Structure 1
Amino acid sequence: MDAKKYRILLTDAPENLSLWFNGTIPSPALSILAACVKNDYDLKTLDLSIEKNPWEKLKNTLNEFKPHLVGVSCTHTCQLNEVVAELKIIRKFAPGALKVAGGIIFSVFYEKYLREGSIDLAVIGEGETTFRQLTKVLAGRKDEDEGAGMPAPVKISASKALADELRAIDGLAFMANNELVKAAPRELLKNLDEVPFPAYELYPMAKYTSPTFCGSRAFGVIFSRGCNNRCKFCSEAYEWNYTMRKHSAKYAVDLIELLYTKYGRDIFVIGDTDFLFDRSWVLEFMELVFERKLKIKFHIQSCCGSVIKNQDLLPELKKAGLFEIMVGAESPFSDVLKNLKKPYSNPEVIDRTMKIIKANGLLLMTMLVWGTEYDTQKTLHEGLKYFDRFSDFVCPSPLTPYPGTPLFDEMKEKGKIFVTDYALYDQAHVIMPAGDLDYAATRRVYEFELFKFFNLNYKFYLKMFSKNKFLRLNQRAYVKLVWIHAFESFASRFGFSKKLFRHEEYGKVMSQRS
């Protein structure tokens, strides 16, 4: 058929993540895929995270647009229930559309969702090249409906020629004649600059806002994929095979400049796992920011070792706009650090890192992970106190065994995963017991220590009135989040549960005729 008549819908499910992620940026994966195919097909994007009535909007879009193919992605594990609900609506109101899914969940559990019919095709691993090749094959089918009506269902099993073409696409999995077909693995891109900028022009950019970072002025960006460290709980490092690949510094600053000039964004939350890892890259990044006279502010993440190694760059980075560094310190206890497979096991590395950041007048956000076999109530209590000495924000989370990580496999084998609802894998809910505690005791300890730390700590409330606007706004949002989770914990003494986002609306939509 005429490729321009092949209708593709890329839709992102809403997220039930309070105020942290829902509606802050377009889906990184889908917005890039949109850029890859926007000039070749009849493409529509739909981000349900910014819709007041997301399920009704999805139903109406399916009825009006009548897509041949619908692409979805599961950005966060805790978003899975919403993604599954999204797929059910697609199956009901667009039965002729091929459903293609990507992201780490579908890369790990592709067989489950293919066999049960939730999806027709799974993109495993890096998706840009796979999706381009897939759409070219599908849109090029001579027997494809070219009308404006709802397309007829495509049965891969009914066409040996189609199945053979799909088998030749690396990184793809599907069912053919009741058999699972998994093509060869997709090689990782060697040059990330081949990836186009996200297709922001296809999204209502004015709707994206970040309450924790000055609202509509802030925006999230990422200039690398993966991490060279092997922390056993990290799904991002696993997903990219424990390697880090970076866009060029020019690509990064070009993207910032686009968002700065076209969309009025001047505060950037940079999501690279270790921004300071490559010294020469950082130097070029700073040089370009100064050269282009970009009046921006930015938050970064970095590993302790990279902060120490590049501490002499922090004054110039601050001049370029750096205002905050987030470090994944995790714990001040050596046995815990070793168990997590952190790149260091000496707590003095953490201590030195925190002092360096604060000596440069930067905000410090410290991540704490609790729940290993070496953890106790004492390690949580002392860990919170330890990080609170220097940190502007201490962000504790229970150790979470994300699917696909070595931690998930280890804990599953040991029978220690007590929560199987992935909606609760949000770094706020206890998933498994810590140390010698049973699951119930682990929950009680975690909730009790966090309640004391946040509610009986005068510094926690003083920060809400800080003269530093970033500290003030972030802290107010953080207080809100703490109270949301505190209420949830006390309201669910016998087990956590999380309702589907806009579950009543979803029920009404699914009760309607297709």
Structure 2
Amino acid sequence: MRTRLIHLINPKTDSLTTRPIYFNRALYSPLAGLLAVAACIPKDQYQVVLTDENIETIDFDLKADLVGISAMTSYVNRGYEVADQFRAKGVPVVMGGVHPSFMPREALEHADAVVVGEVELVIDKLLDDLRQGTMRGTYKSEKLHPMVGLQMPRYDLLKKSRYVNRTFVQTSRGCHQGCTFCAEPLMNGLKFRYRPVDEVIHEMENCGARTISVNDADFFGTPERPKEVMRALKGRGIQWQAGVTSKLANDDSMLELAAESGCTMLSIGFESISRETLKSVHKHVNRPENFQALVEKVHSYGIMVFGLFMFGFDGDTTSVFDDTVNFNVTAGYDACAYSVLTPYPGTLTWYEMKKAGRIVSFDWTMYDQGHVVYRPGGMSADELRIGQNSAYMGFYSTQSIASRFPVRGKRHRAQWMIYNLFMRKASRTEHIDSIAPATAEPSLAPMPPILPVKREWRAAVLEAADGAGPHMM
């Protein structure tokens, strides 16, 4: 009897970090979620084939029993195209990931089934239904996974030579921050769920790589838990990087352990150099007056700082671009990413802008943090797009790179240069020349997998969703 086959696909993203730039490699692999999905599929029952369309073509003639597609908003339309092609050949399709989780009714117009939220607790039911020919509709667990006993991601499926950063280890899910523009708390919750430390270390020791990215929304989310992981990492010869928020990144005991355990870089969501702007989007943890001192402190431990900034908040005017870049260069940030504020469907920012009639484009392909899909408050859409591009050009200019190079200290200079060269070239190969054209509103409304905790936000979401059209809880 033929071995049953499941084909997992990441549709083409074409983002700054997933575009092959140097030596036919992308800076980051986008496959962490699909590797975790593959781990849940019984090896003795199914063969799994994994395709990342950013680096390879999709084999539409592959004889698969099921196609699984994961998609974020900016490339979900390509995911729908892929799904439609396979279904036309009679192959059943299941979709998952952030966008289908927030808009399952829309995804079901292109797929036989949709996994809403986490896959681990519904995969057995989905595969049972597949065998019986009854797989359809939404699959959503009534509870969140306790994060104990997770299977090792299928790193053997990864084409390792095609990415600079290819190994992502998750130590927790959830985030304490309730930023209005972010999907994380509505996808994984405001409370942290932690994997046992011994299971985390086991994966790091057996993933086949000695350079690892911690794939948490906020690795420094609480004072003690990250210290447990870092103590266990000491002496193992593993180099790692992680995304954190600014508050505990300012803790000397945390940074000391990070350096001792092999941390080379921290990505920090600074978002804006305006305190009023940060307060308006509930990013209360950030204090712009402390940003430069924080960068200097992290550097003192030999750790690089990758600053994440966003333009297009209502308090932003055209001066924000030069002001931010000048600050970044003066403060000596090692690398920076600049995104355009994007009202992803189902986030609180989406509902606020939708209610105010400010969203212009509902073409999901434009939701890439580069195109402008709404009417900004303090500038024109053209000024926002041009300003974001100028920020990249300024920060990654030859003069800026030369002035910021870490001549002294213990920062990893080769890694520093790789990031600056990749980001410089990637930002110069963007194909975004204008704002997103206006489109009609979608007939289906988003519904977050997890409703907001705050009563007024929860009411706002339900009211907006009811007013926008059909939705699914």
TM-score normalised by length of structure 2 = 0.82
Measure the CA separation in 2 of the matches of 1:48 and 1:453. Answer: 30
The aligned counterpart of 2:214 is 270
Could you tell me how far 1:349 is from its partner in structure 2? 4.1
1:92 equivalent to 2:84? Answer no
Could you tell me how far 1:493 is from its partner in structure 2? 4.6
Measure the CA separation in 2 of the matches of 1:345 and 1:314. Answer: 18
Give ranges in structure 1 of 5+ residues lacking alignment.
142-153, 155-161, 167-172, 175-181, 498-514
Cα distance change of structure 1 residues 389 and 238 upon mapping to structure 2, 3 Å threshold: farther
Q: Please say if residues 234 and 405 of structure 1, whose CA atoms lie closer than 8 Å, have aligned partners that are also in contact.
A: yes
1:32 equivalent to 2:36? Answer yes
Measure the CA separation in 1 of the matches of 2:367 and 2:345. Answer: 10
| 2:190 equivalent among 232, 235, 242 | 242
1:328 equivalent to 2:269? Answer yes
The aligned counterpart of 1:256 is 204
Q: Please say if residues 273 and 324 of structure 2, whose CA atoms lie closer than 8 Å, have aligned partners that are also in contact.
A: yes
Amino acid at match of 1:442: L
1:220 equivalent to 2:168? Answer yes
The aligned counterpart of 2:68 is 71
Measure the CA separation in 2 of the matches of 1:207 and 1:253. Answer: 24
The aligned counterpart of 1:511 is none
Residues 81-160 of structure 1 aligned to structure 2 (within 5 Å): 81-93=77-89, 95=90, 97-114=91-108, 116=109, 118-139=110-131, 141=132
Amino acid at match of 1:287: R
Q: Please say if residues 268 and 308 of structure 2, whose CA atoms lie closer than 8 Å, have aligned partners that are also in contact.
A: yes
Give ranges in structure 2 of 5+ residues lacking alignment.
21-25, 439-473
Q: What's the secondary structure of 2:247's corresponding residue?
A: helix
Measure the CA separation in 1 of the matches of 2:82 and 2:387. Answer: 36
Measure the CA separation in 2 of the matches of 1:409 and 1:366. Answer: 27
Q: What's the secondary structure of 1:105's corresponding residue?
A: helix
More helix by share: 1
1:392 equivalent to 2:365? Answer no
Cα distance change of structure 1 residues 205 and 255 upon mapping to structure 2, 3 Å threshold: farther
Measure the CA separation in 2 of the matches of 1:351 and 1:134. Answer: 50
Measure the CA separation in 2 of the matches of 1:277 and 1:48. Answer: 31
Cα distance change of structure 1 residues 266 and 345 upon mapping to structure 2, 3 Å threshold: closer
Q: What's the secondary structure of 2:151's corresponding residue?
A: coil
| 1:314 equivalent among 227, 251, 255 | 255
Residues 100-499 of structure 1 aligned to structure 2 (within 5 Å): 100-114=94-108, 116=109, 118-139=110-131, 141=132, 162=134, 174=137, 186-189=142-145, 191-201=146-156, 203-210=157-164, 219-259=167-207, 263=208, 265-290=209-234, 293-308=235-250, 310-344=251-285, 346-390=287-331, 391-455=333-397, 458-461=399-402, 468-485=413-430, 488-489=431-432, 492-493=433-434
Measure the CA separation in 2 of the matches of 1:448 and 1:354. Answer: 23
Cα distance change of structure 1 residues 108 and 266 upon mapping to structure 2, 3 Å threshold: same
Amino acid at match of 1:471: W
Cα distance change of structure 1 residues 110 and 188 upon mapping to structure 2, 3 Å threshold: same
Could you tell me how far 1:476 is from its partner in structure 2? 0.7
TM-superposition CA deviations, 1:254-305 (whole Å, max 9, x none): 111112xxx3x22112221221223332232233223xx4212111111111
Query: What is the aligned-residue RMSD (CA, Å)?
Result: 2.8
Measure the CA separation in 2 of the matches of 1:183 and 1:474. Answer: 39
Could you tell me how far 1:197 is from its partner in structure 2? 1.1
Could you tell me how far 1:36 is from its partner in structure 2? 1.6
TM-score normalised by length of structure 1 = 0.76
Indicate the larger mover: 457-466 or 274-283: 457-466
Q: What's the secondary structure of 2:260's corresponding residue?
A: helix
Cα distance change of structure 1 residues 10 and 396 upon mapping to structure 2, 3 Å threshold: closer
Amino acid at match of 1:13: P
Q: What's the secondary structure of 2:53's corresponding residue?
A: helix
Amino acid at match of 1:399: L
Measure the CA separation in 1 of the matches of 2:8 and 2:286. Answer: 44
Q: What's the secondary structure of 1:373's corresponding residue?
A: coil
The aligned counterpart of 1:60 is 61
Q: Please say if residues 242 and 265 of structure 2, whose CA atoms lie closer than 8 Å, have aligned partners that are also in contact.
A: yes
Q: Please say if residues 173 and 216 of structure 2, whose CA atoms lie closer than 8 Å, have aligned partners that are also in contact.
A: yes
Cα distance change of structure 1 residues 372 and 35 upon mapping to structure 2, 3 Å threshold: same
Cα distance change of structure 1 residues 15 and 133 upon mapping to structure 2, 3 Å threshold: same
TM-superposition CA deviations, 1:387-440 (whole Å, max 9, x none): 332211222211111122111111122222233222232223333333232323
Measure the CA separation in 2 of the matches of 1:126 and 1:136. Answer: 17
Amino acid at match of 1:60: D
Measure the CA separation in 1 of the matches of 2:112 and 2:328. Answer: 47
Q: Please say if residues 418 and 439 of structure 1, whose CA atoms lie closer than 8 Å, have aligned partners that are also in contact.
A: no
Q: What's the secondary structure of 1:60's corresponding residue?
A: coil
Q: Please say if residues 209 and 219 of structure 1, whose CA atoms lie closer than 8 Å, have aligned partners that are also in contact.
A: no
TM-superposition CA deviations, 1:371-393 (whole Å, max 9, x none): 11111112332222223322112
Structure with bigger gyration radius: 1
Cα distance change of structure 1 residues 341 and 11 upon mapping to structure 2, 3 Å threshold: same
Q: Please say if residues 464 and 475 of structure 1, whose CA atoms lie closer than 8 Å, have aligned partners that are also in contact.
A: no
Amino acid at match of 1:119: A
Measure the CA separation in 1 of the matches of 2:405 and 2:85. Answer: 42
Measure the CA separation in 2 of the matches of 1:233 and 1:122. Answer: 24
TM-superposition CA deviations, 1:73-103 (whole Å, max 9, x none): 11x322213211211221123x1x3221111
Q: What's the secondary structure of 1:125's corresponding residue?
A: coil
Measure the CA separation in 1 of the matches of 2:10 and 2:426. Answer: 23
Could you tell me how far 1:346 is from its partner in structure 2? 3.8
Measure the CA separation in 1 of the matches of 2:417 and 2:394. Answer: 21
Q: What's the secondary structure of 1:37's corresponding residue?
A: coil
